[in-house]
């Protein structure tokens, strides 16, 4: 078994099933380190900003999305260029754009399991969103929601090959998938999606639904809020802090979106029957 796709890698394995044992080759989702480096016009020597474990592919989107959801850049014009290598991405900021003073004090060492593992305290977790969400808008029909997980799963090519990767999908209000990104890290998948929107000039995404193949954690809800996505849906459960943030921001938060049902934890006014 060979894999021309850099997102997957074949490995030798032994399958035990029904008392029978057989050798096989499995495809696994790749998890490799990526360093994000940032340079400014005033200081062209790139500074290491983050080290993350990610699935290769869409690395420019990942870097752009990370900088945006962390509040380091506010629009695509603040990014002069992105250069990708096998193990790092260099982001050059536009003239006049500087790294915030707080950046050197924050540790952005991440694993594929946690987007904020390196932060020093809860006070440092919150990034300032570009603006408030529009109260009560947009409106999403309740009948659309149960179809989102299936549409997301059908579009997950790497998950179909490996069974071991997360996805973030952006849907319109009719339940049509607009954009998909996959990664072993759920926060990376969302950053890749937000970064793609940023580089395409499609932020804010105030008329869309974000669906993730994971639980609704604080960091994922915050990334959606930074992109001004008003409706967040997750296959799994929300955390208490995710619900608190969603309520505070007037975001619609849906959990346990699976098997034809879902639970509304915040912003139910946007869901119509």
Binding residues: 256-261
* Phi, psi values for residue 219, rounded to 5°: -65, -35
The residues, ordered by sequence, that sit 6+ positions from 20 with a Cβ below 8 Å of its Cβ are none
Q: Is the distance from CB of 47 to CB of 108 less than 8 angstroms?
A: no
Task: Give the DSSP H/E element, type plus range, for residue 65.
Answer: helix 59-69
CA 238 to chain centre: 15
- Is 114 catalytic? The answer is yes
What is the C-alpha radius of gyration for the chain, rounded to an integer number of angstroms? 19
181 touches 58 (CB < 8 A)? yes
> Which one of 94, 103, 114, 151 is the catalytic residue?
114
Active site residues: 114
């Amino acid at each position: 078994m060979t894999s021309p796709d850099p997102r997957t890698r074949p490995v030798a394995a032994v399958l035990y099933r029904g008392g029978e044992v057989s050798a096989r080759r499995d495809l696994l989702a790749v998890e490799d380190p990526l360093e994000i480096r940032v340079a400014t016009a005033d200081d062209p020597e790139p500074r290491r900003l983050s080290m993350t474990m990610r699935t290769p592919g869409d690395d420019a989107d990942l870097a752009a999305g990370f900088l945006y959801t962390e509040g380091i850049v506010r629009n695509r014009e603040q990014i002069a260029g992105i250069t990708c290598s096998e193990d790092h991405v260099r982001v050059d900021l536009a003239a006049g754009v500087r790294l915030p003073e707080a950046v050197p004090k924050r540790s952005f060492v991440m694993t594929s399991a946690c987007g904020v593992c390196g932060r020093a305290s809860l006070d440092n977790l919150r990034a300032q969103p570009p603006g408030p969400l529009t109260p009560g808008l947009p409106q999403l029909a309740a009948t659309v929601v149960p179809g989102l997980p299936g549409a997301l799963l059908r579009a997950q090519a790497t998950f179909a090959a490996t069974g071991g990767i997360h996805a973030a999908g952006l849907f319109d209000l009719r339940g049509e998938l607009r954009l998909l990104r996959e990664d072993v890290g759920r926060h990376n998948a969302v950053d890749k999606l937000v970064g793609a929107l940023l580089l395409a000039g499609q932020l804010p995404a105030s008329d869309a639904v974000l669906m993730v193949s994971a639980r609704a954690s604080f960091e994922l809800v915050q990334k959606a809020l930074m992109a001004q996505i008003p409706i967040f849906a997750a296959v799994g459960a929300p955390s208490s802090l995710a619900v608190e943030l969603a309520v505070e921001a007037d975001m619609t938060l849906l959990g346990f979106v699976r098997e034809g049902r879902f639970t509304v934890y915040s912003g139910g006014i946007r869901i119509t029957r």
